[in-house]
Chains A and B, each alone.
Chain A
Amino acid sequence: MVELEVQVLSDRREGLLAELGRAVVANGFSLIRQRLTQDSHGAWLTMIVRGPSEQRFALEETLGTHNRVLSFEASLSGEDAVATAVFAKSTPVAVHAPSPEPPPIIEPSATPSAAVMPDIERVEHILPKLAQDYPSIYPWLVSLENSVDDAVRESSLMLAGRRTGAWVYKRDYALGAKLGLSDAIKRIGVPALRQLADIEQQGVHVHILNSPLCTPGVQSGCKFYGGYLEGLLGASVTPKKVFVRHLSCRSTGAPHCSLEISH
């Protein structure tokens, strides 16, 4: 069990607690207390939630890609004694999971197995830098690649990619109608990916030429692009979920890194 303090910024407060409370519950957490305030930036919702530690990644991912969320921060509750004091006065609220909601879809990479859990802290740490220097982000990604354990490298890069992709979508591609997967790949995925790398695309297949994150014979980092595409296309193709499969990688001797997109 972990207790997290989550702070969310949204552009308006109506229905925010209900929608995010649902997301919290769907990830197996319960809401202990919450506080909703408003300032010139928008509505701030702070929640103290408790749930299984192996679900923390899934919850943060849900919140990070939620359409109501402009930005969010999550930390272990108790890390910040001041916040706890502020919350001492607020009343506990019970949130009931609405029964007609479909069960949350947990992707393979989010399964509660320690080996594939990304290094959330290090990813969270570089995310603001990715946003600041976007699209010149390779120095940060390479430093992330080198700073995490081998076992969690791929999942950490994938998480960084997914958060970056979801952010780029909200920033640059959210206006207009929802697109089908093949149109979303052509009109959103390809131009957004071209900002980061030389690519070739045929239907649902994307080849990253000379991925700077993958060194032949050494390490593979092209999971970043997979996560990036999932985050980028996921919001346009909703309610379906987008998955990216890695077919080949330069690190294992292939001429380029190849991805396959499906939903």
Chain B
Amino acid sequence: MPMHVSYNWLLVLLSYAVSVLGSFTSLQLAVAIPLATTPRQRTAAVAMAGGAMGLGAIWAMHFIAMLACDSGMHVTYAPSLTALSAVVAFAACSAGLMLVGDALFSWLRLLAAGSCMGLGVGAMHYLGMAAMMMPAVISYNAGLVVASLVIAIVASMAALWLAFNLRGPWQMVASALVMGFAVCGMHYTGMTAATFTDNGGQLPDGYADGLRGDNLGLTVFGIVGTLLVLMLVLHYWRQRYRSSISI
């Protein structure tokens, strides 16, 4: 029988805030990719931007949102799939930002980059769901799954367009808000697509060895802390660079 799921709205808001924070930090780094003049600088900028987006805006957001979701069951997460979901998010975001982080803008590039990031968000989410171990089975509404992926791709494209083509304060703020919407819109649509059905109390193998909410909470806390520090360092560094440019 399908189970009822309820949400802690404070944590839902926190999940959006974290995805905006991660997107903001990531896009701040990403818009400097075209300025990189050596392959090493470029790789470093792409990796840091991909890390902030993949691990911060997407992966940490997903697990905060999972903590916000109360299905009345004790859930643990398979460590290997959980780690894989983080790697996939990181790789997809890095690839997407590398594609769009070129000096010259084109719609084709934006489409490719937006698809990369949108599908990355989706892949992370559904891998994260597959990592869940609990006395229930998940089934999906195919239409809503497709909708969740479309939302992620379209909103990612919009966010990347804003970040690379606008100038001034909206360049960063609007793009981060939209990217946060891409991630959360995908996640919560994906959750609506899922139905949890009680399997009669059967626990999957390895349930006891899975990661618990409090393990994940600590990791998420570490990631969010790192994002904040990174954002502050970046701000300080950019102010210094700005004042070092002389006329």
Contact = CB atoms under 8 A, between A and B. Distances in A.
Contact of A177 (B34, B245, B246): B34
A177 B247 contact: no
B1 interface: no
A57 interface: no
B146 interface: no
B166 A176 contact: yes
A42 B244 contact: yes
Nearest to B41: A12
Contacts of A55: none
A226 B76 CA distance: 65
5 contacts: A70-B245, A171-B245, A176-B166, A187-B168, A191-B168
Interface of A: 9, 11-12, 14-15, 41-42, 68, 70-71, 127-128, 130-131, 163-164, 167, 170-179, 183, 187-188, 191
Given A14-B38, A188-B167, A177 B102 contact: yes
A145 B234 CA distance: 40
Contacts of B247: 71, 127-128, 130-131, 163-164, 167
B104 A128 contact: no
Interface string B20-34: 000000000001101
Interface of B: 31-32, 34-35, 37-38, 100, 102-105, 163-168, 171, 241-242, 244-247
Nearest to B167: A187
A11 to B, nearest CB: 8
B246 A128 contact: yes
Contacts of B171: 175-176
B28 to A, nearest CB: 8
Contacts of B241: 11
A173 B105 contact: no
A177 B165 CA distance: 6
A71 B242 CA distance: 12
Nearest to A166: B247
Nearest to B160: A177
Contact of B245 (A12, A127, A170, A178): A170
B135 to A, nearest CB: 50
Contacts of B38: 12, 14
Contact of A175 (B32, B37, B104): B32
B246 A178 contact: no
Given A164-B247, A167-B245, A178 B168 contact: no
